[in-house]
Structure 1
């Protein structure tokens, strides 16, 4: 892959520096993106269903595939940071900020739908966060994964 294809995975920080909600969002995104193994590790319930809808929307109407780091990676990628901040903004009532971030992820006409789902996901994760517990897995051969 060229360096341009890794642009969204560029490290912009560390997971440990994120607020709990945003760290939980990134962990959920990484689990969801880890195929059947990761999805099985997500708790059944509202947040997992919302994540399925959000990731489906992003996959179908995204400007490009969301890049992410591996489950055990301490880095925070640019796309992960944008995604997590969008969910946090939506769930705390900062709708304009959330819409701006959503428009970076999906087509602008679908940004309101992404924000509405993100608001619900953020509220669900406020009530029941998904805490990182899984060890890292090999990133080899996984599309959209830097390390």
Structure 2
């Protein structure tokens, strides 16, 4: 990429592109609803995230074009002597930008943001059906140190 990648907090006007990226892969097509107009649930979620000082929805931009997204949640814990953790979720790059290092820049930005917020740990999960994503995160230094479990409520 010729231009520098810039990162910023997402605005509601970015939501259409964000949902488009989230839906633009095999698993995303199964769980997202990218349609016009966007379902109200996305707008409601965006507003809840943007009003919470411990959540940041961040977009990566190449010029005016949004080419990546991630959500970072900052959580205080009693463990680790009351330490804070950052959880990175919903990481996507646009299909045209994949394989160009954007994901690495996005995650590194998130790690630096966690450091700025005083976090002692950055955690993330990836679906077991995404072995390439698992290898990508391991290459960036993430370790599979815990077994995660989920209980689907709906």
- Quick check: TM above 0.5? no
Between Structure 1 and Structure 2, the one with more strand by share is 2
State the structure with bigger RCO (CA 8 A, min sep 6), 1 or 2: 1
Give the TM-score taking structure 1 as reference length. Answer: 0.29
Give the TM-score taking structure 2 as reference length. Answer: 0.28
